[in-house]
A = this chain, B = another copy of it.
């Protein structure tokens, strides 16, 4: 029997001052972070996503999966040693663990990469009233919820568990190639009975999956050509 894996969501934001360094220094900083990630990715699942344009409070998301906390710890020790993290903050961080749902036959213990172009992530907490319901009633309510989800087959669920490990109960994550369909699904789910037991489902992150190289290059760059007219003439 294999152990349940940990999935770590680490959100990174650069200090504006980093963008004031010269290009060679920034290039070196990014290559050091890249080296730290490549070292971990040799044997572990590590995915990179960009939030540039979708959020104002985070720019890069790394999602790392490992068989124990020590390996997650080591990855972040090495990340912190990279030049990039000397100019970055970690505004959000979610620690989850794979676990099969009591409401579904689906096996959720195995490592599984995100494959859609877009990933949606939010921390999730249910009310204590929910947990006070009889197990059969919770089962029935969740079946309705799951059936609505099945009507949107292009949206795939990657939820992990955080009870006692982090501030939320679940790290809910979905991937899809079609943002509009995901929006329609979430709006539709508002009317299910399960929805009434939600206490917290924010912040809610829209992430664009891309190579780490591309996600890192989205953090900085040189300005494009400037306008010809001086502003003070306006």
Contact = CB atoms under 8 A, between A and B. Distances in A.
Nearest to A191: B131
Interface string A202-234: 111010100101101111111111110011101
B69 A227 contact: no
Nearest to A225: B35
19 contacts: A4-B180, A16-B88, A32-B226, A35-B223, A54-B166, A55-B93, A56-B91, A57-B93, A69-B179, A80-B220, A81-B220, A95-B206, A120-B165, A128-B190, A129-B196, A164-B187, A165-B204, A165-B206, A167-B202
A56 B92 contact: yes
Interface of A: 3-4, 6, 8, 10-11, 15-17, 19-20, 27-28, 30-32, 34-36, 38-39, 50, 52-57, 69-70, 72-78, 80-83, 85-93, 95, 97, 99, 118, 120, 128-129, 131-132, 135, 161-167, 169, 174, 179-180, 182-187, 190-191, 193, 195-196, 198, 202-204, 206, 208, 211, 213-214, 216-227, 230-232, 234
A206 B56 contact: no
Contacts of A83: 223
A203 B186 CA distance: 23
A160 B35 CA distance: 41
A10 B56 CA distance: 7
Chain B CB count within 10 A is highest, among A11, A81, A225, for A81
Given A73-B52, A75-B53, A179-B97, A35 B195 contact: no
A209 B54 CA distance: 23
